[in-house]
Chains A and B, each alone.
Chain A
Amino acid sequence: MKLLVVEDETKTGEYLRQGLTEAGFVVDLARNGQDGQHLAMTESYDLLILDVMLPDIDGWRILQNIRAAGSPVPVLFLTARDSVADRVKGLELGADDYLVKPFAFSELLARVRTLLRRGAAQVPVDRIQIGDLVLDLARRRATRAGRRIVLTGKEFALLELLARRRGEVLPRSLIASQVWDMNFDSDSNVIDVAIRRLRAKIDDDFDDKLIQTVRGMGYVLEAPEDQA
């Protein structure tokens, strides 16, 4: 998967490149709008990450130009300005997502993966297996090592989210939004408590722990053999 990051802020750009590269993407970094637009027009990318405020051509103009050139590539905007008008403008111009600075890197990563997945054909699955954990999505049932685990509806939804995005560190805000439809930061530790309760059910009785806490970032579900 090849990404283009257009970001004039030196440090931000560098860290974005590093982070995304380490997450397994091939990343090109452009430091200004001119270069960014040129790269976007000439090379083939799976996703563009555009800063709105650039010294020469702003992100919106780049988006307009590449859309005018007929490119359907998904675009994620980064911006320091958060106003409804800006958001609407971005979406009207054909942006696919919008992230306001400062953002958590894990949030960006999760959104990038969502956008990339959107393009791919979704194979409907009714069963997910991670290690000895099996989720029966049709019947909303979970078993681990053959033992039935009784989960509430939201616990199952949480486990399903983690399982579908196995190996991805999911930030708390994304979990709150995807599982409970709470699209704002709650000032409580609800997610931590919910994860702790889920762990008690699926991990506590087993030696191999599937749900990992990545401090400062979020939670990830991984099979023991994938864990570094």
Chain B
Amino acid sequence: MRGYSLTTRLTAFFSLSSACVLLGLGLLIFTAMDRHFAHEDYALLQDNMQLVEKTIAADNGDTLPKRLSDVYQHHAGMLVYVRGADGSTHYATPNFDFRTALASSRNQVGDEGFFQWQQGDKTYRGMRARITAAGNHIDVLLAMDTEIHEHFLHAFRQSLVSYVALAVLASGIFGWWAARRGLAPLRAMATRATVVTGDKLHERMPVDAVPEEMANLAANLNAMLERLQDDFRRLSEFSSDLAHELRTPLTNLMTQTQVALSQPRDAAKYRDILASNAEELQRLSRMVSDMLYLAKMEHGLDLPHKEAISIAQEVRALFEFYEALAEDKQVALRLIGDGTVEGDRLMLRRALSNLLSNALRHTPQAGSVVVEAHAEAAELVVAVENDGPAIPAELLPSLFDRFFRGDKSRMRPESDSVGLGLSITRAIMTAHGGTISVQSGNGKTRFVLRFPTAPYAQRHSVGV
């Protein structure tokens, strides 16, 4: 059926089904009428049989043929054949050959004595009975042709066929019209869909204006548009964020370089400027690689190297890495518990590293950072908790946004964080089928990672 339009299909379907219904109905009426006629004929035959019986009963001599002839010779349409026990014919309607009738009456007479046969191009219905009068058996056969009924039925069949043809045509046209009308909302939706473009993602399908059946489709399409609009908005925010983030260091670089070039300076000064440029450029290039990393993560790439990873082992390695920094700030690093996660070692290490460096950055002197790992139902929970001022509740949801920094100023006293660390951590968690959340208050900030502990492959196959 592929390739035919919905309208064509519906039209064909309507025509076909109305043809079937009408033909079925016609057939039903036809058989009912046929049966009715048969019934009438048999009733008539029965009446005549009684008449013949009476005639025979009233007979007291050889006058039977004459009496029968009196009764039936002008009775067109009723064929009568009366035979005595000795085989002599008392009466037979003239000019009719009763041999076939007799033969078929012997074959198919039922209890009632009715039967039917074909002779010439006509169909006859007959009745046969044996009457006992004055000790004599007399066989009587009555018959009539059904031509008149046949005629009627034939005419009926003819008109039925033409009516059915007409009805099929009519219902086809009606079906075509109904399909066109019924599908009008779909065309309206298609028209609406053509106006949805990148900058017009706020357009929605008309849910109220379409019939119930399509409202669901329209609502789903709208939900899709909603998601797309959201993604699109984030994407464009992302690009403008990016442009903005790049603008500051680029301005610095350009100004610094042009000022440096504006007059001759000594070598040490040039060296200083170049070094400062190099630092700024390094930050820029790290920002670009972080962005690319994030983009790659968000494209849902599969985990490149999957293995069972001990959280405690990774955290201890990271503690070694951050040891100098922590000791420098007199921050205590503590690890409680352990657990195993199925994942990519480099990615997990990076995720945890971002959290630790973030925690160290915000822990005051002589504070502590505690990493805690424990199993919980079907999850492994890894919490990174640090002492530090509470993060305002309204900032918590945007903490994982790209380029988010708690202090809106561009001052970065002790790090050259580009504000992508937590986004990267979240992206890595998503790639592992896990989640990240944050709580802050009472002088502590706590990031909680939740890894599902069922094997990654299983969940992945059901499309997490």
Contacts and interface: CB of A to CB of B under 8 A. Distances in A.
Interface of A: 82-84, 100, 102-104, 152, 154, 176, 180-190, 193-194, 196-197, 215-217
Pairs of residues from A and B, 9 with the lowest C-beta to C-beta distance, nearest first: A216-B278, A215-B275, A188-B357, A102-B285, A216-B275, A194-B324, A187-B417, A180-B321, A193-B324
Interface in B400-418: 414-418
Contacts of A152: 323
A82 B290 CA distance: 12
B150 interface: no
A190 B324 contact: yes
A190 B321 CA distance: 7
B354 A187 contact: yes
B229 to A, nearest CB: 29
A189 B416 contact: yes
B361 interface: yes
A216 B282 contact: yes
A188 B415 CA distance: 5
A116 to B, nearest CB: 24
A84 B346 CA distance: 13
B407 to A, nearest CB: 15
The interface centre, meaning the residue of A187, A190, A194, A197 with most chain B CB atoms within 10 A of its CB, is A187
Contact of B279 (A176, A184, A187, A215): A215
Given A187-B415, A187-B418, A216-B274, A182 B285 contact: no
Contacts of A183: 346
Contacts of A217: 278
Interface of B: 271-272, 274-279, 281-282, 285-286, 288-290, 292, 296, 301, 304, 317-318, 320-325, 327-328, 346, 349-350, 353-354, 357, 360-361, 414-418, 420-421
A192 to B, nearest CB: 9
Nearest to B328: A193
Given A184-B350, A187-B286, 18 more contacts: A84-B304, A102-B281, A104-B285, A152-B323, A180-B320, A180-B321, A181-B317, A182-B318, A182-B349, A182-B353, A185-B286, A187-B418, A190-B322, A190-B324, A190-B325, A215-B279, A216-B276, A217-B278
The interface centre, meaning the residue of B285, B321, B350, B416 with most chain A CB atoms within 10 A of its CB, is B321
Contacts of B415: 187-189
29 contacts: A82-B292, A83-B296, A100-B289, A102-B281, A103-B285, A152-B323, A154-B324, A180-B317, A180-B321, A182-B318, A184-B346, A184-B350, A185-B289, A186-B353, A186-B357, A187-B286, A187-B357, A187-B418, A187-B421, A188-B322, A189-B415, A190-B321, A190-B325, A193-B328, A194-B324, A197-B327, A216-B274, A216-B279, A216-B281
A91 to B, nearest CB: 13
A216 B357 contact: no
Nearest to B290: A185
B361 A188 contact: yes
Contacts of B361: 188
Given A187-B418, A189-B416, A176 B277 contact: no
B288 A102 contact: yes
A182 B318 CA distance: 8
B325 A154 contact: no
